[in-house]
């Protein structure tokens, strides 16, 4: 409860305007919130000052070892938190607790303050009046997307050392997984190494394989869209033949690369079938062989009717 109160009222602690708060239960046990903040949070306080369109902001960076459950950016106004944004939605490396040198780990919390936010907060302090992302800017209002993107840049710089270590571990994990367990994705990783940036760290084998397979499907969809666009431009005849040939050659190379990924997957699956067949042809510990039906079912399933349309 004490940690939750500190998290909720953290802006008061940050600005050093919080009165002394002590929680005491019916048994007489007490917890000094100010002392906890001073001993566990205050020393990690770092701030960045920046401006967007001549509007000044301060971003307070905090590592919260206990009490937080997600990495978040908090928007504050008039000494109160108004709303928060989960950073894990835009950065896959911020979906889990970050390990630190102490081994306990922490969650990141950023608190954004500024006179502009004070002027734009609504009367109930549940939101802001500035323009939404899909609206035109009115009276030079700042869309929230621009605020989040700018603040995220400073957050990534603040957490750079930790994020680089997470990325290195993930790169090593993916390489080992592809090399030792799922070689059919080796060509994907070699041709599109940037896809690793979109994969969450510390995934199980099944989850990692699903993530890699999703990247293959995404690549295939992108290739189909590019092929369709070339076809449409050819029909409209609004592009030069030299440009069409250049893009067509690039498209063919991409399709060829995708075919190699599919071929690798096919070869590996056939290898599994051959291994099963080889095992079925061998005798067991008692010198007995498998029934013909078992061998037959591996090559062609039995008791199935094949109908011609």
The pLDDT, as a whole number, for residue 6 is 79
The pLDDT, as a whole number, for residue 211 is 94
Q: What is the largest CA-CA distance in the chain?
A: 87
Which has the closest alpha carbon to 77: 37, 137, 125?
125
Does this model's pTM top 0.85? My answer is no
Pairing label, strands 30-32, 72-77: unpaired
For every residue of the chain, DSSP letters joined together read -HHHHHHHTHHHHHTT-PPP-EEE-TTS-EEEHHHHHHHHTGGG-EEEEEEETTEEEEEEEEEESSS--S-EEEEEETTEEEEEEEGGGT-GGGSSPBP-TTSS-BEEEEEEE-HHHHHHB-TTSSSB-SPPTTS--STTPPPHHHHHHHHHHHHHHHTHHHHHHHHHHHHHHHHHHHHHT-GGGHHHHHH-GGGGGGSPSS--HHHHHHHHHHHHHHHHHHHHHHHHHHHHHHHHT-S-HHHHHHHHHHHHHHHHHHHHHHHHHHHHHHHHHHHHHHHHHS--TTS----HHHHHHHHS-SS------
Neighbours of 24 (CB within 10 A): 10
The pLDDT, as a whole number, for residue 193 is 92
Q: Whole-angstrom distance between the N-terminal and C-terminal Cα of the chain?
A: 68
Joined together, the tokens standing for residue 13 give 């602690």
Neighbours of 122 (CB within 10 A): 11
- With tokens 């957490």, the residue in question is 159
Residues 6+ apart with CB under 8 A from 196: 170, 171, 174, 189
The pLDDT, as a whole number, for residue 136 is 39
Question: pLDDT of the chain along its 309 residues, tens only?
Answer: 777 787 778 888 887 888 999 998 888 888 899 998 888 777 767 899 999 988 999 999 988 887 778 999 999 998 888 989 999 988 999 999 998 877 788 999 999 999 999 998 888 888 888 755 444 344 456 778 889 999 999 999 999 999 999 999 999 999 999 999 888 888 888 888 999 999 999 999 999 999 998 998 888 888 888 778 777 777 776 667 677 677 767 767 777 777 766 666 656 666 666 666 677 677 777 777 667 666 666 666 666 665 655
Pairing label, strands 72-77, 107-113: parallel
Residue ranges per structural domain of the chain: 2-158, 167-281
HSE-CB at 186 with a 13 A cutoff on CA atoms is 12
Joined together, the tokens standing for residue 5 give 């109160």
Joined together, the tokens standing for residue 106 give 């922490």
Angle between helices 160-180 and 144-158 (to 10 degrees): 80
60 φ/ψ angles, rounded to the nearest 5 degrees: -90, 125
Joined together, the tokens standing for residue 231 give 């076809």
The pLDDT, as a whole number, for residue 140 is 53
307 exposure class (CB count in 10 Å sphere: 0-12, 13-18, 19+) = exposed
Angle (nearest 5°) at CA 215 between 212 and 220 = 135
């Amino acid at each position: 409860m004490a940690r939750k109160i500190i998290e909720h009222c953290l802006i008061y602690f940050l600005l050093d305007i919080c009165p002394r708060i002590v929680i005491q239960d019916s048994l007489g046990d007490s917890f000094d919130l100010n002392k906890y903040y001073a001993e566990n949070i205050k020393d990690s306080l770092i701030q960045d000052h920046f401006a967007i369109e001549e509007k000044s902001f301060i971003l307070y960076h905090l590592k919260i070892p206990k009490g937080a459950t997600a990495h978040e950016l908090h928007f504050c106004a008039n000494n109160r938190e108004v709303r928060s944004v989960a950073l894990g939605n835009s950065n896959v490396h911020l979906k889990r607790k970050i390990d630190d040198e102490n081994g306990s780990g922490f969650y990141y919390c950023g608190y954004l303050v500024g006179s502009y936010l004070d002027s734009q907060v609504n009367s109930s302090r549940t939101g802001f009046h500035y323009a939404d992302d899909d609206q035109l800017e009115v009276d030079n209002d700042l869309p929230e997307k621009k605020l989040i993107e700018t603040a995220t840049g400073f957050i990534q710089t603040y957490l750079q050392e930790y994020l680089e270590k997470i990325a290195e571990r993930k790169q090593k994990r993916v390489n080992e997984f592809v090399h030792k367990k799922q070689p059919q994705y080796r060509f994907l990783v070699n041709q599109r190494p940037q896809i690793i940036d979109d994969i969450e760290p510390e995934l199980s084998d099944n989850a990692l394989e699903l993530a890699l397979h999703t990247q293959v499907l995404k690549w295939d969809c992108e290739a189909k869209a590019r092929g369709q666009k070339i076809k449409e431009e050819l029909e409209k005849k609004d592009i030069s033949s030299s440009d069409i040939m250049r893009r067509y050659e690039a498209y063919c190379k991409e399709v060829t690369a995708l075919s190699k990924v599919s071929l690798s997957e096919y070869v590996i699956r056939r290898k599994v079938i051959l291994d099963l067949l080889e095992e079925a042809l061998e005798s067991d510990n008692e010198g007995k062989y498998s029934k013909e039906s078992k061998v037959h079912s591996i090559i062609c399933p039995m008791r199935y009717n094949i109908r011609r349309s």
